[in-house]
């Protein structure tokens, strides 16, 4: 693959023409994903890739899916969800109306995990979950709420470890080789495209989850996104990050306190 200069020119072009800004993604990560896309699509050079992207928007959609792909599953990292259940839900219950933002919601497994958690705590009916992602294809999958039936065994194990209070099979219907999530879980979810790199705050939230997204950003962009979350949280609102992510390098770090240091759950204290 050509050098970083050609890659940077490509990313700048995509930002200018389509508004997708990958210029502050972690360099090694974005380079690896561009190489993977080029190999799968038999593109021999970055310049050739640039021409393809500028000529065909359907190729752009495929490219965005490749760059933003996240590995996810329901109740991934069960200890995190157990901590949410034990430490956060009781505090959310004090609000008459609860707004949750899941930023970088990918294909929806995390969204429905949170919906189940809220439902079991008797909070879903007075909650609204804003599920956002840059990837429109992933959002469509999330909206449909249909997943491979083969995944349900692993999800059930995660759910039990996370302190699940019912039978996980109560939340989906098996149909051939697919699992259709219960319609009641979707009623309080708003799906929307949102680009963390350029878009602004759009509401005030009691809880924001952005797990395993910041690891793909460089340090400057991470700090910018933490600022966005700070602005979007109500006083004493909660922020949850992935277990390899941190607020240490943000100038807002003193504005947060740990709720669960190990599980990267913070409260906006100032």
Secondary structure (DSSP) of 81-97:
HHHIIIIIHHHHTTSSS
For residue 133, tell me if it sits in a domain.
yes
In the predicted structure, residue 185 carries a pLDDT above the cut 70: yes
In this prediction, residue 202 has a pLDDT band, given cuts at 50, 70 and 90, of: very high
For residue 145, tell me if it sits in a domain.
yes
Structural domains of the chain, count? 2
Query: Which tokens belong to 232?
Result: 């979007």
Query: Which tokens belong to 212?
Result: 């395993």
Instruction: Count Cα neighbours of 77 within 13 Å in the Cβ-side half-sphere.
Output: 18
Mark out the alpha helices in 20-56 (DSSP H runs): 27-40, 46-55
Whether residue 148 sits in one domain with residue 14: no
For residue 12, tell me if it sits in a domain.
yes
Whether residue 181 sits in one domain with residue 247: yes
Pairing mode, if any, of strands 205-210 and 233-241? Answer: parallel
In this prediction, residue 2 has a pLDDT band, given cuts at 50, 70 and 90, of: low
For residue 73, tell me if it sits in a domain.
no
Q: Residues 84-102: what's their mean pLDDT?
A: 97
What are the pLDDT digits (tens) for 54-77?
Answer: 888 888 888 888 888 677 899 999
What percent of the chain has a predicted confidence (pLDDT) above 90? 71
Whether residue 124 sits in one domain with residue 257: yes
Whether 209 contacts 114, CB under 8 Å: yes
Whether residue 156 sits in one domain with residue 47: no
- Give the pLDDT confidence score for residue 4 in this predicted structure: 81
In the predicted structure, residue 123 carries a pLDDT above the cut 70: yes
What percent of the chain has a predicted confidence (pLDDT) above 70? 99
In this prediction, residue 87 has a pLDDT band, given cuts at 50, 70 and 90, of: very high
Whether 86 contacts 121, CB under 8 Å: no
Whether residue 135 sits in one domain with residue 64: no
Whether residue 105 sits in one domain with residue 13: no
- Give the pLDDT confidence score for residue 20 in this predicted structure: 85
What are the pLDDT digits (tens) for 238-255?
Answer: 999 999 899 988 999 999
Whether residue 89 sits in one domain with residue 187: yes
Q: Residues 177-206: what's their mean pLDDT?
A: 95
Q: Residues 23-47: what's their mean pLDDT?
A: 89
Whether residue 89 sits in one domain with residue 197: yes
In the predicted structure, residue 106 carries a pLDDT above the cut 90: yes
Please say which residue of 23, 44, 68 terminates a domain: 68
- Give the pLDDT confidence score for residue 3 in this predicted structure: 65
3-state secondary structure of 210: strand
Q: What is the CATH number of the domain that holds 214?
A: 3.40.50.150
Whether residue 229 sits in one domain with residue 137: yes
Whether residue 168 sits in one domain with residue 59: no
Residue numbers of the domain that contains 17: 4-68
Mean pLDDT of the chain: 93
CA 190 to chain centre: 14
For residue 183, tell me if it sits in a domain.
yes
Whether residue 86 sits in one domain with residue 63: no
Whether residue 107 sits in one domain with residue 194: yes
CA 159 to CA 167: how far, in whole Å?
Answer: 9
- Give the pLDDT confidence score for residue 232 in this predicted structure: 98
Please say which residue of 68, 101, 118 terminates a domain: 68
């Amino acid at each position: 693959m050509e050098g970083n200069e050609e890659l940077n020119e490509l990313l700048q072009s995509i930002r200018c023409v389509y508004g997708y800004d990958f210029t502050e993604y972690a360099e090694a990560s974005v380079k690896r994903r561009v190489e993977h896309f080029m190999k799968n699509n038999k593109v021999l050079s970055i310049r050739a890739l640039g021409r393809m992207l500028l000529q065909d928007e359907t190729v752009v959609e495929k490219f965005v899916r490749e760059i933003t792909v996240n590995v996810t599953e329901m109740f991934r990292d069960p200890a995190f969800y157990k901590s949410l259940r034990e430490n956060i839900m009781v505090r959310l219950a004090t609000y008459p109306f609860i707004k949750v933002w899941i930023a970088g919601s990918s294909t929806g497994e995390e969204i429905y995990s949170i919906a189940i958690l809220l439902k079991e705590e008797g909070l879903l009916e007075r909650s609204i979950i804003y599920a956002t992602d840059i990837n429109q294809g992933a959002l469509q999958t999330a909206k449909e709420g249909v997943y491979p039936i083969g995944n349900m065994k692993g999800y059930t194990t995660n759910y039990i470890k996370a302190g699940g209070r019912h039978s996980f099979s109560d939340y989906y219907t098996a149909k051939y080789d697919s699992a259709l999530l219960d319609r009641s879980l979707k009623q309080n979810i708003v799906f929307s495209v949102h680009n963390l790199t350029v878009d602004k705050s759009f509401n005030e939230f009691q809880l924001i989850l952005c797990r395993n997204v910041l690891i793909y950003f460089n340090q400057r962009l991470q700090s910018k996104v933490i600022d966005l979350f700070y602005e979007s949280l109500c006083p004493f609102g909660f922020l949850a990050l992935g277990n390899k992510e941190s607020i240490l390098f943000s100038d807002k770090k003193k504005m947060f306190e740990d709720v669960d240091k190990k599980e990267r759950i913070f409260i906006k204290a100032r």
